[in-house]
Amino acid sequence: MLNGISESGSDVVGSFISQLQALQNRVKELEAENSKLSSQISKCCCHKTEEMQNGSDVESFKQGVESQRKNTGGYDLKIMTHHSKRYVALKVMYFGQRFYGFASEAQMDPTVESEIFNALEKTRLLVGDKKESQYSRCGRTDKGVSSVGQVIALFLRSNLKETDQNHKITGELFPEARIEGEIDYVRVLNRVLPSDIRTLGWSPVSIDFSARFSCLAREYKYFFWRGNLNLSAMENAGKKFLGEHDFRNFCKMDAANVHNYRRRITQFEISSSNMSFEGGQLCAIKVKGSAFLWHQVRCMVAVLFMIGQGLESVDVIDILLDIEKTLRKPQYAMAPETPLILQSCEFEDVKFICSSDSGQALRIHLENEGRAYQLQSAIFQ
C-alpha cells in the first residue's frame, strides 16, 4: 500500500514539474513578445512626433500623448531623447508672494521651479528628466522673494537637426551659435506659465556653463517707504559693506553646507523712485556682489533700518563685521521678504534673446498685471 502511495505521489510531482516548466516557457515567450511590441510602439511614437513637427496628424498625436500622461502620471520623457537638443540658459521673472521659494527641494508647493518644470513638461521641451537635463539655477530665492533676473540652464528640445556624413539625423546637440529656425522658447513657455511667472529671454550656452558657478555677479534690490528714516546715515553705513568681509553676523548660519562666510560686495547705493503713496516716498537699496549667503541681504537691510531709525549708530556695521570682537551674531529680526528682488545675474558672453512678437506679448501681459495691482491698490485706498 505504501508503495502504491509513493508511486502515485511521484506521478503527481512529475506532473506539477511538467506544468511548471510549460508555464515558465510560456512566460519567456510572452516577455519576448512584450519586448518586441514595446520596441514597435516606441518607434511609432517617435515617428508620430516627427509627423507633428511637420504639421500632420497633430490632433491624433496630442490625444495619444495626453492619454499616456493620464495613464502614467506624466509624459514619457524617453520619447523626447530621440529629438535634437541644445543647452540653453533661460532668464526668468516671477512675483514671489505665493511661492515657497524658488527651489523645489523643500517639498513645499508651489515653488517657482516646480511651476517652470510643469510648463516644460506640458510643452514637451524637456529632454530626459531633471538630472539628465543637466539643470542648474543661479540663485535660490526664499519664500516670498521676487526676481526679474533669475537664470536657469538645462538641455531643451531643439528644432534644429545635426546630420552625420551619411546625412542621417543624429539627434545630438549642436553648436550653440546657431539660432535661426529655433523654437521660440519664450513664446512657448509663456503661453502655459502662470501669470506671476514669465520667461524674459533665452540664450544658447556651452555645455560647461553653470547658471550658479558661471555667474560673475548678482544684484539685489530692496524696496521700502522712506518715512522718517535717516537715509544719509543708512547710506554711510551701507558703504562699509563694500569690499570683502566675513558676513557671518549678517546671515542665517548654515554650518552644514557653508564653511566660508567671506563675500565681496562691489556696489551699494540707496535711491529714491518717482512713486509715492499717501505722501510717502518709495526708495530702494541696491546691493551687488559676486555671491551672497543665506538671508544676507535681508539681515544687512534690517541693521540699516535700525540705523535709519536712530536705534543703532553707523559704527555698528564695523563692530558686526569684526568677527574677533563680535564672536556670535546678535539676535535681531530680519527685514521682511516681500520687498526683496533678485534684480540681475551677470555672465560673460551670454546675451538673452526675445523675439519681437514674444516681447510685445510680454509687455502687454505686464501692463495688464500692473493695472490689476493698481485696481487692488485703489480698492485698499
* Residues assigned a catalytic role: 142
Which three cell numbers mark 371? 493695472
With 0-12 / 13-18 / 19 or more C-beta atoms within 10 angstroms meaning exposed / middle / buried, residue 95 is buried
- Distance from C-alpha of 322 to C-alpha of 298, rounded to nearest angstrom: 19
CB contact set of 103 (below 8 Å; sequence gap of 6+): 111, 113, 137, 140
Sign of CA dihedral 31, 34, 36, 38: negative
- Distance from C-alpha of 291 to C-alpha of 214, rounded to nearest angstrom: 11
- Distance from C-alpha of 298 to C-alpha of 333, rounded to nearest angstrom: 9
- Distance from C-alpha of 255 to C-alpha of 294, rounded to nearest angstrom: 11
- Distance from C-alpha of 32 to C-alpha of 145, rounded to nearest angstrom: 54
Q: Which of 206, 184, 181 is nearest to 354 (CA)?
A: 184
Q: Where are the alpha helices (DSSP H) in 54-206?
A: 58-72, 77-80, 112-122, 185-190
Distance of CA 341 to the CA centre of its chain: 16
Please give the angle made by the CA atoms of 275, 278 and 282, to the nearest 5 degrees.
Answer: 30
- Distance from C-alpha of 277 to C-alpha of 206, rounded to nearest angstrom: 46
Longest CA span, the chain: 112
CB contact set of 377 (below 8 Å; sequence gap of 6+): 277
Q: Which of 213, 343, 347, 348 is nearest to 269 (CA)?
A: 343
- Distance from C-alpha of 300 to C-alpha of 221, rounded to nearest angstrom: 12
- Distance from C-alpha of 366 to C-alpha of 381, rounded to nearest angstrom: 22
* 3 state SS of 165: coil
